[in-house]
Chain A
Amino acid sequence: MIEYRHGTLDRTFAALAHPTRRAIVRRLSAGPLTVTEVAAPHRISLAAVSKHLDVLEKAGLVRRTREGRIQRCSLRAEPLAETARWVEQYRSFWEQQLGALSRYLAHRRRHS
């Protein structure tokens, strides 16, 4: 009934548990950027941004490709889609449950 891979979710949450990494993911959702472009709005070193990108890459959220001297970063949305699916599954589960609860209580009232 409820299926998802726990490991992927763990890594996704952990990777996104940092405001800088969430900001990076949000910016990459508009399209690929070079590492320098990713670093630009943050008041941290290129090396620090690179570490955040490492974490995002390990979680499967970001893919880095090298074109000559330029490193380009793009978003991989699969792990986030999985998270959204988890939320939707339980939301829908409780929607059904509260419907069933309403019907049960209405039925009981009619027959009491």
Chain B
Amino acid sequence: MSPSHPSVTASYEELVDASPEEIFEAWTRPEELKSWFGPGGFQTIEAAVRAEPGGTYRLVLRAPDGNLLTITGTFREVVRPSRLVYTWVWAHAPDDEMVVTVELRPIGPLRTNVRVTHEQISDGEIARYEGGWREGLARLGALLERDR
């Protein structure tokens, strides 16, 4: 996929009191992932991770209502301890591939800037459109929403 393909991106950045190494391990070791991964009320009950370029992962999350949701993907970049790029596909929406980029930047002893970028990518119809997609669709959407 070339960067000129349209995409929409959600990103979030936070300072975490830990070293990049600790965070990298927590992000790539199954037992550690099960200890923290899963949004409010969701619990990661299964984790299989092979963190190497081309390696795959599979996470099973239990929702508060008991439903199980599965996330799978493939690692595209694994640069210990500073960078991870992996695809993200919900098992219930297999045609909808997303890409997550994790960037870890040390800013002091035991303090790391963590930046996560979650990108919606798509093939088919969208991929045929080339060029010019550098403006933030998200910002445009938010602006239009605000103007209503």
Contacts and interface: CB of A to CB of B under 8 A. Distances in A.
Interface of A: 1-2, 6, 9-14, 16-19, 22, 25-26, 29-30, 75, 77, 80-81, 83-84, 86-91, 93-106, 109
Nearest to B19: A105
A28 to B, nearest CB: 9
B37 A100 contact: yes
A2 B92 CA distance: 11
B12 A102 contact: no
21 contacts: A1-B69, A10-B124, A12-B137, A13-B120, A14-B126, A14-B129, A22-B135, A75-B144, A81-B141, A83-B137, A87-B142, A90-B118, A94-B118, A97-B36, A99-B14, A100-B36, A100-B38, A102-B16, A104-B36, A105-B16, A105-B17
Given A10-B126, A102-B18, 18 more contacts: A1-B42, A1-B63, A6-B96, A13-B122, A17-B132, A18-B132, A22-B140, A81-B144, A86-B8, A87-B138, A95-B12, A98-B16, A98-B116, A99-B14, A101-B16, A101-B23, A101-B37, A102-B16
Given A75-B144, A94-B116, A17 B129 contact: yes
Interface residues of B, number: 52
Contacts of B147: 29-30
A94 B98 CA distance: 14
Most B C-beta atoms less than 10 A away, residue of A22, A30, A88, A102? A102
Given A94-B116, A104-B35, A16 B16 contact: no
B3 interface: no
Contact of B141 (A2, A11, A80, A106): A80
Given A2-B90, A101-B16, A102-B16, A91 B142 contact: no
Contact of A84 (B124, B125, B138): B138
A101 to B, nearest CB: 5
Contacts of B131: 17
A14 B141 contact: no
